[in-house]
Structure 1
Amino acid sequence: MSLTQEGADFAAIPKLELHLHHEGAAPPAFIRGLASEKKVNIDKVFDERGHYAYDDFWHFLQVYEAATSVLKTPEDYARLTTAVLEESAASGVIYTETFLSPDFCGGRDVGAWREYLHAIREAADAAERDMGIVTRGIITCIRHFGPDKAKETALCAAETAGDWIVGFGIAGDEKAGKPRDFAYSFDMAREAELALTAHAGEWGGPQSVRDALEALRPARIGHGVRAIEDLELVDRLAEEGVVLEVCPGSNVTLGIYPDVARHPIEMLRERGVKVTVSTDDPPFFHTTMAKEYEALHHAFGWEEEVFAQINRTALDAAFCDQATKDTLAKRLEISA
């Protein structure tokens, strides 16, 4: 397959995605339908075209939580999982790591969280069987909910760590608190042998990346693109092999960069930083993994070999076990 041909099918490229928020990937039609079933009015969440409507990142967080409010039961999350994975599979994703927050799934109660997780995993297993997409979960605490609630979330993570819940991270408003406030939660997750990731370098600038690296010691950084403003930090990321979960469409839609052509992903890659490509909250940002690949192809001339490299990086950085990686590697080779 040549990407230089007109009408190239970017969905046909097998992809690994490492940065996907489960609720943030909910198709608007799914949330509207669920709200209608429950007779809950969340009309302000949508614009006249039926898309999610928000003004800026902080309003986006409010809309995100309002949309999530209709997800009340494990069954709701099972249905959500199916809807999300259908969208991902249609875009060529063969492996996804989805961010899950017990804050929204049982109020951080371990027993309730287990019920939600069981429902999510059953739906994910069915999607793997029926659609060929492999899923693993990363539990995230919500930064602007504070460090005490993060400890409860970390306990949920530690109690359900294993072959499916493979990681722990932090998301939310980067301007709320400091990474060191959440060190206890990350230590708890580390002791449970969960791999670690942390959102930074999206709104907080390069210093937020340094703070996350030093206080939380994650293997991956969610976003991390503002590191480009500090080349010493960029070189550190490259030297230490820290992987960035880059979401270009999200960064452009939220106004961090004016367009993909001026996004720093290519500069980071050229300087030796390990970068991957993800969608973040795809329907909020009117994107898919196929659209991300197409945009990067047109902006930077990326061809099949670059996308293959990106996916090899994602495979190496994935938090799943080696047996799963070996199976995915074979699928990438077969599709190459």
Structure 2
Amino acid sequence: MGLETFAGAHSSTNAARDVRTLPKAHLHLHFTGSMRHDTLLELAARDGIALPDSLVSGWPPQLSAADEKGWFRFQRLYDVARSVLRTEDDVRRLVREAAEDDAADGGGWLEIQVDPSGYAARFGGITAFLDLVLDAAREATASTGVGVAVVVAANRTRHPLDARTLARLAAQYAGRGVVGFGLSNDERRGTTTDFAAAFAIAGRAGLLLLPHGGELRGPEHVRTCLDVLRPARLGHGVRSAEDPDLLARVVDAGIALEVCPVSNVSLGVYSDLSSVPVPTLLEAGATVALGSDDPLLFGSRLAGQYATMRAAHDLDDDALAGLARMSVRASAAPDDVRARLLAGIDDWLAAPA
């Protein structure tokens, strides 16, 4: 969506269609963070796991990652939520419900991101856990009609050698359900250049390279990611908007930005939704794929990202359809799935509001 397309995005003559029926792809969703709140409560009660008030009566929690202490609180809640996954059926349920929720929000393709290291001890190692997730993804695809693929993500707070191990694991499953390799957690920790070797391994296997960057750190870290990790997409990348020359480089390289507006505000990156610079990115010609990041902690799923950007920036249906097309084109979806979703977007736009 270039400037000429976006110029009409503030038109009030285009009545609003239901964003939940707009076909789209979901490219930024973390594994445990995809869990339904009701499922969290049910699984915790089953095993007598005490949850903090912020995940029970105070849900969704009030979060900010503006400082290290804030990120620690966020990560602690994530770890508590992960601890309720005790059985293979729990894992299958999580993946199935994530696909069901996307289907209800118009999603037709989902790339769910997981670090197998965080579950290995309970599920027989990283390979056994990845096998389980991939099997769950196949089952979810069959039961919901949403294509579910997996992104294996390393944790930047762990040793870079761990990332190489995960990259080799992901490479073994390239073309068999794993479509990408990522790098997540607090981007202010660790040294990005130390992960170049892991990304080279994944890249040689033909996987999409999908590091987080440009959310908690600014344009300088986006530049490092581009120079060192050579991404196809950037997890977040939203702060590219602060540097026009960098943003032009992102656009010229065709690097998609997985923008997660609600989580950006929840974590204190922006003060409110109207400050999330989606219009700036679109006007520069950037490819923007809206994602929900961690609905369990932020309280908003895929369609909510479209609804909030519509409201915050007065985006019309043409602009929302353009965002949905970008999500599909930036995905690893097979050609037939892409064609079906893109045709559905055209039909959504052609239907009466």
TM over 0.5: yes
Aligned mates of 1:154, 1:44 — CA distance in 2: 37
Q: C-alpha offsets along residues 112-142 of structure 1, whole Å, 9 cap, x if unaligned?
A: 3343334333433333333221111111001
SS of the counterpart of 2:125? helix
Query: Is 1:162 aligned to 2:171, yes or no?
Result: no
Aligned to 1:151: 164
CA contact (8 A) 2:63 2:266 kept: no
Q: C-alpha offsets along residues 46-80 of structure 1, whole Å, 9 cap, x if unaligned?
A: 24244446553332122112211222343321111
CA contact (8 A) 2:23 2:341 kept: no
C-alpha deviation, 1:17, in angstroms: 1.2
C-alpha deviation, 1:42, in angstroms: 3.0
CA contact (8 A) 2:259 2:288 kept: yes
Deviates more, 1:97-106 or 1:200-209: 97-106
Q: C-alpha offsets along residues 266-313 of structure 1, whole Å, 9 cap, x if unaligned?
A: 111101111111111123112122221111112222122112211222
Cα 1:19–1:3, aligned 2, differ >3 Å: closer, same or farther?
farther
CA contact (8 A) 2:95 2:137 kept: yes
SS of the counterpart of 2:149? strand
Aligned to 2:115: 101
CA contact (8 A) 1:58 1:173 kept: no
CA contact (8 A) 2:211 2:235 kept: yes
Cα 1:316–1:238, aligned 2, differ >3 Å: closer, same or farther?
same
1:194 to 202, 207, 229: 207
Cα 1:90–1:3, aligned 2, differ >3 Å: closer, same or farther?
farther
CA contact (8 A) 2:41 2:56 kept: no
SS of the counterpart of 1:257? coil
SS of the counterpart of 1:245? strand
CA contact (8 A) 1:18 1:314 kept: yes
Query: Is 1:10 aligned to 2:19, yes or no?
Result: yes
Provide the TM-score with structure 1 as the length reference: 0.91
Aligned to 2:243: 230
Please report the RMSD computed on the Cα atoms of aligned residues, expressed in angstroms. 2.3
Aligned to 2:67: none
One-letter code of the match for 2:75?
Answer: L
Tell me the number of residue pairs that the alignment of Structure 1 and Structure 2 aligns.
333
SS of the counterpart of 1:145? coil
Of structures 1 and 2, the one with the larger relative CO (CA 8 A, separation 6+) is 2
SS of the counterpart of 2:152? strand
Aligned to 2:281: 268
Query: Is 1:219 aligned to 2:227, yes or no?
Result: no
CA contact (8 A) 1:102 1:139 kept: yes
Deviates more, 1:321-330 or 1:221-230: 321-330
- What is the aligned-residue identity percentage? 32
Unaligned runs of 5+ in 1: none
CA contact (8 A) 2:310 2:320 kept: no
Query: Is 1:26 aligned to 2:39, yes or no?
Result: no
CA contact (8 A) 1:199 1:224 kept: yes
1:33-52 superposed matches below 5 A: 33-43=42-52, 46-52=55-61
CA contact (8 A) 1:163 1:320 kept: no
Query: Is 1:128 aligned to 2:141, yes or no?
Result: yes
Aligned mates of 1:103, 1:52 — CA distance in 2: 26
1:312 to 301, 306, 325: 325
CA contact (8 A) 1:246 1:278 kept: yes
Unaligned runs of 5+ in 2: 1-11, 65-69
CA contact (8 A) 2:63 2:267 kept: no
Aligned to 2:3: none
Aligned to 2:106: 92
